[in-house]
Amino acid sequence: MITTILTTIAIVGGMAGFLALLLVVAEMFFANYGEVIIDINGKRKLKVKGGSSLLSTLNENKIYLASACGGRGSCGFCKCKVRSGGGPLLPTEKPFLSPDEIKDNVRLSCQVKVKEDIAIIIPEEIFNVRQFAGVVSKIEDHTYDIKELTIQLTQPTEINFKAGQYVQLQSPRYGKIKQKVSRAYSISSSPDHTDYIQLIIRRVPDGICTTWVHDFLKEGDEVSFTGPFGDFFIQDTRADMLFVAGGSGKAPIKAMLEYLDARNSTRRMGYFFGARSRKDLYLDDLFATWEKSMRNFAYYPVLSQPTEQCEWDGRCGYVMPYFDEFIQDVNNTEAYLCGSPGMIAAVVKYLVSKGIPKEKIYFDSFA
Amino acid sequence: MKETPQEKRIHENMKAGVMCAKGFLGSDTRHFHEIIETDAAHLQTLGYTREEVADRMQALTNAAFEAFMGSITLEEHLIVEYTSFRGKLTCPFAHPGGFRKGSVTLQNTRNNITLCWTPLNIHMIREHGFFEGHGSEHRLDPDILIKALFN
Amino acid sequence: MEINAFIIFIASIFTSNILLTNFLGMCSFLSVSKEVESSVGLGLAVVFVMTLTTALNYVVYHMVLVPLNIVYLQYIIFIIVIAAFVQLTEMMLERFSPVLYYSLGIFLPLITVNCAILGVSLFMIIRNYSFLQSIAFGAGGGLGWLLAILALAGIRQKVRYKFVPKGLQGAGLSMIITGIMAMAFIGFSGIVVIQ
């Protein structure tokens, strides 16, 4: 009897042990991709350990592609061109890629696993992207739902960016929120200040990061962000500049104007800011001082729905009809737009109908 | 009830702080299948289909989106406003792709009902019949929603 | 009596459907049958795993358990073999066919605990099938299971738009549907006998 029990235990144990061993060996064999080489733009070669996603492998090597979802394949920001070695296109990537991008071998780097030598192409600017740590030195309330943060950099202590670019701010675990998230916000301070950045952040109903900024963040708190990202900058020409923004879209325009003001720019500039009512207007004083310091700059606030209490006798309705006050020569005008996709679409349509070439309209859409 | 890995992931996505601060279930303790099934039955007694509701919400959303600055008045008694934010919303049911991050506010001046939804809500109603749990930020009770949309 | 393997194959799909006559594999059958798409995914994974584990367990039974005179351990050994096989398949899929991994991958771990898989292996022993018969039985059993879950998922998708009394919503109604389906499948019985 005892021997039967013992042999049973031995056989079951042996069998299970054998299969477990088989799995461990298989795991070592299948999941070990050894060292692989990532070829970047044909110029740089990275020797890395294979097996994880392209996005996280690059992150470990301090190359930060934009990503808002943290590699879960839901934001579609971390696109990059894979020239060879990325494996087949996965069903998880398809919805984020246009037919042209698929033809161009664009992939979502968070879904591509590094299993073999791989050659990728990423924009050169990405190499400037770093992870930054800083301390919130000031929080200003601009309107009932818009705050501006000033973040003093601590590690590294300097940032180089172009006016109009954005960073990804990381919110920590707080309250009931059990995970960190990253969200994109435009830098609103001039690139001349390399030791701090400012961000203009509007409250999003039920938003994870903005709720943290608006309700939990205090002056003196430590924060971290990655950046800079984006290709919305001032073109180095002599053309007239038409700026249009709404809501928190004011941020990159503020950075651009601050930059131009520091250089005593004499380019003709007009800034149309669309808001709903008086309580949505902010930083008016700052723009008024720039109107004085830059002789060719004019600020045009437009309210779409001023109420009685606003006591508003300025421009009302949509911003577009007022462009005529500024535009002189359509062939010598550039437009810089930042705001909602609805606004951008309408303004682009209007400007094109006025005769401004599409390629001279630069925009940063919230979509 | 046992959950498949897929359902577990959906459930995880719906919790507070994963995709939005307060989560999709709010203070509702029911399983999301139960919420969907209860609301589906309720919607049926009201005499509307998910598609009709979603189509109507989409039409109002599109009108407000194109107006982009402040609110617009439709059909004389509906005041709709669309606010845009940077980024994308993703579906907790792991539907690939993203939806515009924006919020639509609808005020029906006939019965004074005010509601707020996002483009994601329209998708969740159309594809999943999900109106969110009680106490969540964008819970759209079929009763109130129908009154606000069709009255 | 020696039954043709092909007859076993056909019979295990229709006349002795593992799910509708033996009521095995009910839990994943009920919980993953909400949408046609995912039910097909799970069904295909079951076909694959059932066919290969039946073959594998046949070999293990006749090469290991019978010679060592420990056939009473078949339950536990079969389960271990199935679990290890599923794990191994998952690993290989991830490495060699990421596309297939993404469509089937999430269902594979679910199958480890699917009693239909173990059931087929045990029936194969009880019914004294040959190796070829066992493979036909495994493949047919899997396809039968796929057919059943696909039918239920299709019906449940339709039912979603209909008014269902509160007490019957969810599992209650699914059980009734399954019962009616099982009765419908009795119509096939008597055509061939395989046990």
B139, B115 in Cβ contact below 8 A? no
What pLDDT, in 10s, does the model give residues A169-185? 988 888 878 778 888 89
Chain B residues lying within 8 Å of A177, measured CB to CB: 16-17, 21
Q: Which chain A positions have a beta carbon within 8 Å of C103's beta carbon?
A: 91
Rounded CA-CA distance A21/A42 in Å is 42
Residue pLDDT, tens place only, B102-117: 889 999 998 888 999 9
Nearest residue in chain B measured CA to CA from C169: B37
Q: Chains A and B: how many Cβ contacts under 8 Å?
A: 102
Q: Which of A34-43, A68-77, A196-205 has the highest mean pLDDT?
A: A196-205
A109 pLDDT higher than 80: yes
Band (pLDDT 50/70/90 cuts) for residue A317 is confident
- Residues near A176 by Cβ (< 8 Å), separated by ≥ 6? B16, B17
Residue with tokens 């984006």: A230
Per the document, the length of chain C is 195
User: Average pLDDT of A221-229?
Assistant: 90
- Fold match between A35-126 and A240-365? no
Q: Would the pLDDT of B1 be above 60? A: no
- Number of A/C CB contacts below 8 angstroms equals 45
Pick left, alpha or beta for residue C25 (phi over 0 → left; psi -120 to 50 → alpha; otherwise beta). left
- Test C163 with B3 for CB contact under 8 angstroms: no
Q: List chain A domain ranges.
A: 35-126, 130-229, 240-365
The pLDDT of A21-35, averaged and rounded, is 82
- Please give the class, per CATH, of domain A35-126: alpha beta
**What is the dihedral angle through the alpha carbons of A263, A264, A269, A272, rounded to the nearest 10 degrees?**
80
pLDDT value of residue C58 = 93
Exposed (0-12), middle (13-18) or buried (19+): which is C162, by Cβ within 10 Å? exposed
Please state the rounded mean pLDDT for residues B24-43: 88
**Which of B21, B69, B102 lies closest to A276 in CB terms?**
B69
Paired tokens of B60: 């109002």
Ranges of each domain in chain B: 5-150
* pLDDT tens digits along B67-116: 877 788 888 889 998 888 888 888 888 776 678 888 899 999 988 889 99
Interface contact flag, C163 B45, Cβ < 8 Å: yes
Write down which chains contact chain C via at least 3 CB pairs under 8 A. A, B
Give how far C48 is from chain B: nearest CA, Å. 19
**pLDDT score recorded for residue A230:** 84
Which chains does chain A touch, 3 or more C-beta pairs < 8 A?
A: B, C
* % of chain A with per-residue pLDDT over 90: 24
Closest CA to A205 of B80, B107, B91, B137: B137
Instruction: Give the tokens for residue B96.
Output: 């690939």
Tell me which chain A residue has its CA closest to the CA of residue B66: A342
Point out the residue among B4, B44, B45 whose CB comes nearest to the CB of C32.
Answer: B4
Closest C-alpha to A211, from B22, C62, C106: B22
Under 8 Å between Cβ of C39 and C150: yes
* Least Cα separation, residue B94 to chain A (angstroms): 8
The CA distance from C190 to A228, in Å, is: 73
Beta strand pairing call for A297-303 and A269-275: parallel
B82 vs A176, A318, A342: nearest CB: A342
With a threshold of 0.90, tell me whether the complex ipTM lies above it: no
Q: Which of C124, C126, C36, C42 is nearest to C86 (CA)?
A: C42
pLDDT tops 70 at residue B39: yes
Q: What is the CATH number of domain A130-229?
A: 2.40.30.10
Task: Collect all residues of chain C within an 8 Å Cβ-Cβ radius of residue B8.
Answer: none
Chain C residues inside the 8 Å CB shell of A91: 99, 102-103
Q: Whole-model pTM above 0.95? A: no
Distance, in Å, from the CA atom of A355 to the CA atom of A188, rounded to the nearest integer, reads 30
> In this predicted model, what pLDDT tens digit does every residue of A135-163 receive, in sequence order?
999 999 999 889 999 999 998 888 989 89
Select from A94, A177, A341 the Cβ nearest to the Cβ of B21: A177
**Residue range A307-326: average pLDDT?**
84
Q: Is the model's pLDDT at B6 over the cut of 80?
A: no
More confident residue, B90 or A72: B90
Residue A151: the pLDDT is 94
What is the pLDDT, as a whole number, of residue C105?
Answer: 62
Q: Give the list of residues 6+ apart from residue C75 with CB closer than 8 angstroms, or none.
A: C118, C122
The rounded mean pLDDT for chain A is: 87
What is the distance between the alpha carbons of residues A137 and A115, in angstroms, rounded to a whole number?
44
What would the 3-class secondary structure string for B19-83 be? Answer: CCCCCCCCCCCCCHHHHHHHHHHHHHHHCCCHHHHHHHHHHHHHHHHHHCCCEEEECCCEEEEEE
Peptide bond just before A99 cis, omega within 30 deg: no
List of chain C residues whose C-beta atoms are within 8 Å of the C-beta of residue B6: 38, 106
Nearest CA in chain B to C27: B2
User: What tokens appear for C70 in the block?
Assistant: 């420990």
Task: List the single residue in C84, C94, C102 with the smallest CB-CB distance to A91.
Answer: C102
How far is B36 from A2, CA to CA, in rounded Å? 57
Where chain C has pLDDT below 70, the residues are 1, 102-106, 113, 193-195
- What local confidence, expressed as pLDDT, does residue A335 receive? 92
Predicted local distance difference test score (pLDDT) of residue A367 = 65
CB contact under 8 A, B2 and C27: yes
Could you give the CA distance from residue A158 to residue A116 in angstroms, rounded to a whole number?
36
pLDDT given at position C55: 93
Contact A90 C70 (CB under 8 A): no
pLDDT for the residue C104: 67
The answer to whether residue B90 neighbours chain A at the CB level (below 8 Å) is yes
> Which of A8, A11, A27 is nearest residue C91 as measured by Cβ atoms?
A27
Strand order, beta sheet including A222-229: A181-186, A166-171, A222-229, A130-141, A146-155, A196-202
pLDDT over 80 (residue A10):
yes
- Tell me, what amino acid is at A123? P
A25 near C CB under 8 A: no
Q: Which amino acid is at C15?
A: T
Chains touching B (at least 3 CB pairs under 8 A) are A, C
Q: In what order do the strands lie in the sheet containing A106-108?
A: A44-49, A35-40, A118-121, A79-84, A106-108
φ, ψ of residue C116 in degrees (nearest 5): -60, -35
CATH number corresponding to A240-365: 3.40.50.80
What chain C residue is nearest to B2 in terms of C-alpha separation? C31
Nearest chain C Cα distance for residue B126, angstroms:
12
Nearest-by-Cβ selection for A88 from C80, C88, C98: C98
Give the pLDDT band of residue B3 (cuts 50, 70, 90): low
Asked if residue B57 lies in contact with residue B82, where contact means CB atoms within 8 angstroms, the answer is: no
pLDDT for A309: 77
User: Does residue A70 carry a pLDDT above 70?
Assistant: no
Whether the Cβ atoms of residue A191 and residue A255 lie closer than 8 Å to each other: yes
Degrees, nearest 5: CA angle B108-B109-B114: 40
pLDDT at C1: 53
Whether residue A217 has pLDDT greater than 60: yes
Q: Name the residue ranges covered by the structural domains of chain C.
A: 5-186
Instruction: Quote the pLDDT of residue B16.
Output: 81
Tell me how many degrees the CA angle C53-C132-C18 measures, rounded to the nearest 5: 55
